[in-house]
């Protein structure tokens, strides 16, 4: 029951931060630990909740980043870029191929750093573990070292690079919405405390507030 509550509230927080009209860098930074908690932790929230709801599909619709072509149609050499990141185009639509596993999603390429692929996992781990989403730490990987070296140059000037967390947040929130809806419609209950009322929700249950706001 606690895991279901935490998953629903975390997904709502991810969506709020990702869809804000003008989110601050700090608001965007907070998306990284939320995605980590949902998907990357050793026993993630999604894994925990899906043990009792394996029939609910989780479909991550993301368009992998591809190097843009030069004006003559030839692909630009990746080595020319110290850092390139995807933007709103990463968020896939119904026509996009769904990645059906967390592993496939977090290994999706979303940019390039020093000629090497940058994945969803790389982005989340950097902002969570180095730039302060969870804790402010020293970079431990080559990708993190490059990103950490660039961060002070952008601070106070632009939030364009960290905005990738908003795009990833939208993908994650969309993917987990069916799971959240399943919880709200049929939550785990304690029959000693919770009774289904005439309005269709359980009294004295944490989902009651969500039902009233839907």
Average pLDDT by consecutive 10-residue portion of the chain (214 residues)? Answer: 94 94 89 96 93 95 82 51 82 93 95 87 91 69 69 56 93 97 87 76 79 55
Burial class of residue 110 (count of CB atoms within 10 Å of its CB; 0-12, 13-18, 19+): buried
Number of domains the chain is built from: 1
Q: What is the pLDDT of residue 180?
A: 96
- 3-class secondary structure, 60: strand
pLDDT of amino acid 18: 95
Helix, strand or coil for residue 202?
strand
pLDDT at 116: 83
Question: How much is the pLDDT for 51?
Answer: 94
| Residues of the domain holding 131 | 2-213
Element (H, E) at 119: strand 116-119
Cα(101)–Cα(120) distance, integer angstroms: 13
Residue 198: the pLDDT is 73
Task: Supply the pLDDT for residue 214.
Answer: 47
**Which pair of structure tokens corresponds to residue 68?**
């843009």
Output the CA–CA distances (angstroms, integers) from residue 140 to 109, 160, 164, in the order listed.
20, 24, 21
């Amino acid at each position: 029951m606690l895991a279901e509550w935490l998953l629903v509230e975390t997904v709502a927080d991810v969506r709020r931060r990702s869809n804000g009209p003008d989110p601050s860098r700090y608001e965007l930074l907070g998306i990284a630990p939320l995605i980590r908690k949902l998907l990357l932790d050793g026993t993630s929230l999604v894994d925990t909740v899906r043990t009792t709801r394996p029939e609910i599909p989780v479909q991550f619709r993301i368009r992998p980043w591809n190097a843009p072509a030069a004006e003559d149609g030839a692909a630009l050499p990746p080595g020319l870029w110290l850092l390139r990141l995807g933007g709103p185009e990463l968020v896939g639509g119904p026509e996009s191929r769904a990645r059906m596993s967390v592993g496939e999603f977090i290994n999706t390429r979303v940019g390039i750093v020093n000629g090497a692929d940058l994945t969803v996992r790389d982005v989340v781990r950097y902002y969570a573990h180095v730039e302060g989403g969870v804790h402010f730490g020293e970079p431990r990987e080559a990708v993190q070292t490059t990103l950490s070296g660039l961060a002070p140059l952008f601070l106070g000037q632009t939030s364009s690079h960290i905005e990738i967390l908003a795009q990833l947040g939208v993908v994650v929130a969309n993917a987990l919405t069916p799971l959240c809806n399943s919880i709200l419609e049929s939550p785990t209950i304690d029959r000693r405390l919770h009774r289904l009322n005439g309005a269709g929700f359980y009294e004295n249950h944490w989902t009651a507030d969500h039902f009233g706001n839907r």
